[in-house]
Amino acid sequence: MHTKARTIRATTRSAALIAAAAAMTTLPACFIPAAIGGMAESYHRTGSTTYPAQYDGLVGKSFAVVTSSSRMTESEHPGLSARITQRVNDRLIQNANPGYAIPSRDLLMVLYNTPQWTAMTRADVANLLGVERLIVIEIIDYRLQEPGNEYTWDGAISGVVSVYESDSAIPDDPMFEKAIRITFPDSTGFTTADIPEAAVTTELSNRFVNRASWLFYEHEEPNVIPY
């Protein structure tokens, strides 16, 4: 009985496939490429692509991440720099295959106890932390609404990610730099009644951390990604 049922199901599937193929062959020649193109586009939109690291110099090396922002930004959004530092540092420990990294809690404690680090040379900061690679993230702009409009969300965060190699002949010059700008929401018109502030700040941070971290290891990105 089971063999007969399986045979019927297999026959039904085969018939469906044959019918679909027959339908394709009966389409006008100009429609067939369009149909194939539509299927390819659908596959692309639901798939992902693997991208290599833009800077792979963390492999086998010691590193630390530090983040700075203006006093105004930090006063309006307390803890922003520390959160970015911790999340990017953790992500790279897990994915960039370093030789050694300072645990984020210890790293933040050293920076907290050395507030003058922002005025030090990059070589001196790397020396302070005892690392061969110093990743510096400078937050240039951070906002949740456009100026003068406190009701509609128009979040944006922009910054520059730089890498300094303390074991090079020029430890104070960046060996790699990348500017990043992230926005959220992806369309206009959302107000504080539509999206809570916590959701906006969380998504902005998530997107920025992704873009900053992805620079340093091979990763997959959805083919259709809004940022």
pLDDT of residue 37 exceeding 90, the answer is no
pLDDT for res 43: 56
Asked if residue 181 lies in contact with residue 156, where contact means CB atoms within 8 angstroms, the answer is yes
CA nearest to 62, candidates 208, 166, 212, 194: 166
**H-helix segments, 27-165:** 31-46, 71-76, 80-95, 104-113, 122-129
CA–CA–CA angle 19, 25, 27 (5° rounding): 105
State mean pLDDT over 147-164.
95
Q: How far apart are CA 153 and CA 160, in angstroms?
A: 23
Integer CA distances (angstroms), 66 to 101, 113, 215, in order: 12, 14, 16
State mean pLDDT over 12-19.
46
pLDDT for res 148: 86
pLDDT for res 17: 42
Question: At 26, is the pLDDT very low, low, confident or very high (cuts 50, 70, 90)?
Answer: low
User: Which CATH number is 62-222 given?
Assistant: 3.40.50.10610
**pTM for this structure?**
0.80
User: For the chain, where are the E strands, in sequence order?
Assistant: 48-51, 62-68, 100-101, 133-145, 153-165, 176-184, 219-222
Cβ atoms within 10 Å, residue 140: 14
List the domain boundaries for the chain: 2-46, 62-222
State mean pLDDT over 98-112.
97
The amino acid sitting at 187 is S
| pLDDT digit string, tens, across residues 168-189 | 999 999 999 999 999 999 999 9
Q: Which position has the higher pLDDT, 184 or 29?
A: 184
Question: At 3, is the pLDDT very low, low, confident or very high (cuts 50, 70, 90)?
Answer: very low
